[in-house]
Amino acid sequence: MKFTKMHGLGNDFIVVAGEKELPSGADQLAIRLCNRFFGIGADGLVYILPSETADFKMRIINSDGSEAEQCGNAIRCVSKYVYDNGMTDKAEITVETLGAGVQKVQLNVQNGKVATVRVDMGQPILEGLQVPTTVDQAEVIDYPIEVDDRQFRFTAVSMGNPHCVIYVDDAVNFDLSLWGPRLEVHPMFPRKTNVEFVTVKNREHTDMRVWERGAGPTLACGTGACATLVSSVLNGLTDRRATVSLKGGDLFIEWDEADNHVYMTGPAEEVFKGTL
């Protein structure tokens, strides 16, 4: 099996192209290959597959063997891969995802290679039961949640996958590994959840740290950055265009008022190629 190791702001993936469909046993393969001591090491295993409705299809298996509906960093890596490896010569492509449907992608090409990628991440889902949470409200904003006798307040956003956004005084130094796994599996989230801890710096800039469902702490999360901006707008904390600073770097996020779509712009990098 030939693979390419790629990352988006340090959120890293084993990218495989050439399969006709998701192979059986992909969950166990992801667990083995994503292991950072006994495997290649990655946050997830990503397959680029044929699509009947888009230019390409993307399937993402997390490092714990579960499948993610969508991943903003992975779709940027996939977009760079298909262009840089001659699978397309178009600067605008479409990618089919499991949870967010077909997404439009614009490629910023410099010297024959993709430098940055702008992804139409679609409309955010805000209705509580659809995120999903157990809260039956049209929007779940600044809602109380208790974990081990500590109360947080969260805003629920789905970008094709569920997110729980919580504002803290210092996201950069927050104890992510203590509270992230507890909130991920909280009964209020029937399909578990990604958890973002956020500090708003100003109207156009936030710091964010993420505990990803099925992967744990990662250096970046594209859908989490989108959920962070949507949540921050809903809570009146930022404008509709802002930079979200993650541990691995910055993403520029826009929530367009005209079409209600969220747009994410950021880099993707190839690390190395290999054969298993």
CA 155 to centroid of chain Cα atoms: 17
Concerning whether 221 is annotated as a catalytic residue, the answer is: yes
Q: Is 108 annotated as a binding residue?
A: no
Q: Is 223 annotated as a binding residue?
A: yes
CB distance 266 to 9 below 8 Å: yes
Alpha helices in 35-175 (DSSP H): 72-84
Q: Is 222 annotated as a binding residue?
A: yes
- Beta strands 56-62 and 67-68, pairing class: antiparallel
Hunting for tokens 């579960």 — which residue is that? 66
Q: Is 161 annotated as a binding residue?
A: yes
Q: Is 213 annotated as a binding residue?
A: yes
Distance, in Å, from the CA atom of 27 to the CA atom of 196, rounded to the nearest integer, reads: 25
* Helices 222-234, 72-84: crossing angle, 10 deg rounding: 130
DSSP per-residue codes, 115-137: EEEEEE--PPB--GGGTT-S--S
Q: Is 35 annotated as a binding residue?
A: no
Q: Is 260 annotated as a binding residue?
A: no
**Which residues have C-beta within 8 Å of that of residue 10, sequence separation ≥ 6?**
218, 219, 220, 247, 248, 249
Closest of 2, 77, 92, 84 to residue 43, by C-alpha? 77
Q: Is 11 annotated as a binding residue?
A: yes
Q: Which of 34, 77, 221, 226 is catalytic?
A: 221
Q: Which of 71, 77, 164, 226 is catalytic?
A: 71
Concerning whether 34 is annotated as a catalytic residue, the answer is: no
**Which residues have C-beta within 8 Å of that of residue 244, sequence separation ≥ 6?**
206, 208, 225, 228, 229, 250, 251, 252, 253
Closest of 206, 137, 136, 126 to residue 164, by C-alpha? 126
CA angle 116, 56, 106 (to 5 degrees): 25
Residue ranges of the annotated binding site are: 11, 62, 72-73, 161, 194, 212-213, 222-223
Residue ranges of the annotated binding site for substrate are: 11, 62, 72-73, 161, 194, 212-213, 222-223
Annotated catalytic residues are 71, 221
